[in-house]
Structure 1
């Protein structure tokens, strides 16, 4: 999910486990965050990973949360800026320049529901 309203990238347990990551891969992160339900959540740590989107790769600092989410990860303003991306929530698209052409990611309306 792309969320323009926050300043951190979040990784949830399904992706963390799916990537085979372990607690020793994490560095500490001491600031609590507020979840979608308004409750405080204490992150289990943070890590930096390369993320490939189309033909472009950027390093992303993820805060790893041990909380339920229908998403595996949420990318936010830092990722958008690193990509040089322009999001459209209306069209469920993110467009970015890669080499000499514009690439786009297209979201799924059914997944959003």
Structure 2
């Protein structure tokens, strides 16, 4: 289900290779967490003062520390971009917003986990997402915290996808999903097929 992941790439920012670069079409501006300033060769004293307040998706506002212009290289595309530097504990190292996306005429796709760019010759160039971040996040550590509890016996013959229902298409609800190996008749989903 990689299409449900955020679109993270690796980019070269001010000559430094940076991972966890989030391309976010929902963000109007590009952001740089304050902790990344030194990692791209900049210092707080080099920031241009600003009174911008950045509002996140939940409505919380943060006052920006300042503005900085950085050279961003993604694939063969290289562009000077203005970043709003924020005091953030974000999971990304750099956020490229619509200002960057439109500025380089990029077409980001979370479905394909890639970004389509255009070379100087006008040819398409595809930059693949960095999926290593998601692989690391899928590992879980298991620990028994209460040693008096017995381990669960899991019936491995159960199919976790036994279900009946509908799926959503551009025309609306469609086609009843049915798995014939179900030992019972499920209820709860109604649709015409």
**Number of the residue aligned with 2:125:** 103
How far residue 37 of structure 1 moved from its aligned partner, in angstroms, is 5.3
Q: Greater relative contact order (Cα 8 A, min sep 6): structure 1 or 2?
A: 1
* 1:35 aligned onto 2:59: no
Q: Map of 1:46-61 to 2, 5 A cutoff?
A: 46-61=67-82
Gaps of at least 5 residues in structure 2 are 1-21, 138-193
Rg bigger for which structure? 2
**Alpha carbons of structure 1 residues 12 and 36: separation in structure 2 relative to 1, 3 Å:** farther
* 1:69 aligned onto 2:66: no
**Alpha carbons of structure 1 residues 95 and 60: separation in structure 2 relative to 1, 3 Å:** same
Residue range with higher mean Cα deviation, 65-74 or 23-32: 23-32
Higher helix share: 1
The DSSP-based 3-state class of the residue aligned with 1:79 is helix
8 Å CA contact retained: 1:13, 1:72: no
Aligned residues, how many? 113
Gaps of at least 5 residues in structure 1 are none
Give the aligned CA root-mean-square deviation in angstroms.
Answer: 1.8
Q: Measure, in 1, the Cα distance between the counterparts of 2:67 and 2:50.
A: 6
* 1:8 aligned onto 2:29: yes
TM-score by length of 2: 0.54
After TM superposition, where is structure 1 displaced by more than 2 Å over at least 4 residues in a row? 35-39, 108-113
TM-score by length of 1: 0.87
Q: Measure, in 2, the Cα distance between the counterparts of 1:59 and 1:99.
A: 16
**Alpha carbons of structure 1 residues 19 and 76: separation in structure 2 relative to 1, 3 Å:** same
